[in-house]
Structures are given as C-alpha cells and as structure tokens.
C-alpha cells in the first residue's frame, strides 16, 4: 500500500501541474480589431431568434441599452430605431440585420452595430419542476468596414425552487404556483436582463472594451493571479 501511494502521488502532482499549465496558457481574447475600430456609438438592431416565444426579440433588445451605456458608449434609443425600421416595412430581425450598411450609415451614422441572435428563451414546465433559459449570441460590427470587431455568447438556466425537500405534494403545488406566476410575469424577461448584463458589459472576461464615456476607457487591464496550492 505504501509503495502504491508513493507511485500515485507524483502522478497526481503531475496531473495538477499539467492542468494548471493548460489553463495559464489559454490565449487572451484578441481585441486588436476592436481597438482599431474604437467605436463611440452603438446601434442595436432587433435580434434574430430561434425561440418560439414571439416576445423574445423585443425582451432581449429592450434590455441591451443599459450594460452598453454603463460601459461608456452612446446607444441609439432602441425603441425609436425599431420603429424606424417598421415604418420602412422591416419587422423581423433577419430582415433588419440584412440591411445594407450604407443605408444604415446614411440614417444613423453609428460607429458600430450590435447584432444578436437568441438561441433559447422561455420557461419549460415539468410535473414538479420548471426551468427558465435565456441564451444569446452577439457580435459587434464596424459600421464603416463591416468587420466583426467582437463576438460573445451567454446562456443562463434557472431552475425553480428546491423541490427535493418539499415532498411530492409540496413540489407539485410549488410547480403549479410557479406556472401561474409566469403567466402573469414573464420570468425569462428578468433573466434576459441578467444575460445581457453578463454578455454586453465591459470589465468581464472576454467582454467588450470600455467606451469613451467611462473612466476606465483605454486604461490597461489588470489581472490578479491566484497561486495554485498543492496540499499533501
């Protein structure tokens, strides 16, 4: 047994060090195109959506302004932008995102355009449980060149309250109450706000850069490295 322990210990340490080495060698996000583009204003257009929920595009788009503005960018009012597209016969995200950049520049002249795609949005109900999911992908386009200067994705799933400790009857009752509440208040709408905050905020891992109206604009990022501790 002692011999086996002596053989396994070096292997365990080697595995830990190998894993640490792999993590530390991960390449940082390439912001070179973002920095060259250096956008000051962002136009958010209606997202495309794979969800069956018809309210998903408006729910996600409506909550995109705040994280972008708080990150230091001027964001064109999304309601007015969307209404302008509607007045020109464009009601769907796919149609709007296919509009020629020259036409968008003539109307708004933004520095960058944010395109989003919703993979999933809504709540799924089971007998004693429900899960709410919002999944969004985003890309930021240089409005002059059409180059993609940043991409990101975020998915969050939230389960209903811990039913395992309630007993079957309590779990069923809780699930029914949750379903009734969701008919009145869209839980996915609130979750979309969290997803957008995580996805479209500066200062997070692989997020957008700070804009010109933020105190941290063009300041070098600082990273804190936590040493790996190996216990016997």
DSSP lists the bridge partners of residue 12 as none
Q: What is the pLDDT of residues 205-227, one digit of tens each?
A: 999 999 999 999 988 654 333 33
Pick the residue with more confidence: 223 or 19?
A: 19
Task: Judge residue 113's burial from the number of C-beta atoms within 10 Å of its C-beta, 0-12 exposed, 13-18 middle, 19 or more buried.
Answer: buried
In a domain, 210, yes or no: no
In a domain, 225, yes or no: no
pLDDT average, residue stretch 26-36: 91
In a domain, 18, yes or no: no
Q: What is the pLDDT of residues 84-106, one digit of tens each?
A: 999 999 999 999 999 999 999 99
In a domain, 23, yes or no: no
Residue 97's pLDDT is what?
96
Q: What is the pLDDT of residues 60-85, one digit of tens each?
A: 999 999 999 999 999 999 999 999 99
- pLDDT surpasses 70 at 232: no
Q: What is the pLDDT of residues 98-131, one digit of tens each?
A: 999 999 999 999 999 999 999 999 988 765 677 8
φ and ψ at residue 44, rounded to 5 degrees: -100, 125
DSSP codes of every residue in 117-129: EEEEEEEEE-SS-
- Whether pTM exceeds 0.85: no
Token pair listed for 68 = 């972008």
In a domain, 112, yes or no: yes
C-alpha 200/C-alpha 153 separation (Å) is: 9
- pLDDT surpasses 60 at 37: yes
Range of the domain at 96: 29-121+134-154+187-199
Residue 206's pLDDT is what?
93
Task: Judge residue 81's burial from the number of C-beta atoms within 10 Å of its C-beta, 0-12 exposed, 13-18 middle, 19 or more buried.
Answer: buried
Task: Judge residue 38's burial from the number of C-beta atoms within 10 Å of its C-beta, 0-12 exposed, 13-18 middle, 19 or more buried.
Answer: middle
Pick the residue with more confidence: 26 or 62?
A: 62
Q: What is the pLDDT of residues 139-182, one digit of tens each?
A: 999 999 999 999 999 999 988 754 455 544 455 445 545 554 55
In a domain, 217, yes or no: no
**Residue 204 DSSP SS3:** coil
Range with lowest mean pLDDT among 134-143, 175-184, 194-203: 175-184
In a domain, 58, yes or no: yes
In a domain, 71, yes or no: yes
Q: Mean pLDDT for the chain?
A: 81
The tally of domains found in the chain comes to: 1
Residue 159's pLDDT is what?
84
Residue 131's pLDDT is what?
86
| CATH number (domain holding residue 40) | 3.40.50.10610
Residue 16's pLDDT is what?
46
CA angle 87, 49, 92 (to 5 degrees): 15
Token pair listed for 172 = 């069923």
């Amino acid at each position: 047994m002692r011999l086996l322990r002596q053989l396994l210990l070096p292997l365990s340490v080697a595995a830990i060090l190998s894993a640490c080495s792999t993590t530390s060698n991960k390449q940082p996000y390439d912001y070179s195109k973002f920095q060259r583009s250096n956008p000051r204003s962002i136009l958010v257009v209606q997202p495309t959506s794979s969800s069956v929920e018809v309210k998903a595009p408006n729910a996600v788009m409506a909550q995109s302004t705040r994280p972008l503005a708080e990150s230091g960018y001027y964001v064109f009012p999304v309601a007015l932008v969307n209404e302008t597209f509607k007045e020109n016969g464009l009601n769907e995200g796919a149609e709007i995102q296919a509009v020629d950049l020259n036409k968008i520049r003539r109307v708004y002249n933004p520095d960058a355009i944010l395109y989003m795609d919703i993979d999933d949005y809504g709540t799924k109900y089971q007998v004693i449980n429900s899960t709410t999911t919002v999944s969004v992908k985003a890309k930021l386009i240089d409005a002059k060149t059409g180059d993609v200067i940043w991409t990101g994705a975020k998915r969050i799933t939230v389960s209903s309250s811990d039913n395992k400790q309630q007993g079957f009857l309590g779990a069923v009752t809780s699930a029914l109450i949750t379903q009734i509440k969701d008919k009145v208040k869209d839980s996915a709408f609130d979750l979309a706000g969290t997803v957008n905050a995580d996805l479209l905020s500066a200062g997070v891992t692989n997020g957008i850069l700070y804009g010109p109206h933020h105190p941290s604009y063009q300041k070098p990022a600082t990273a804190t490295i936590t040493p790996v501790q190996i216990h016997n």
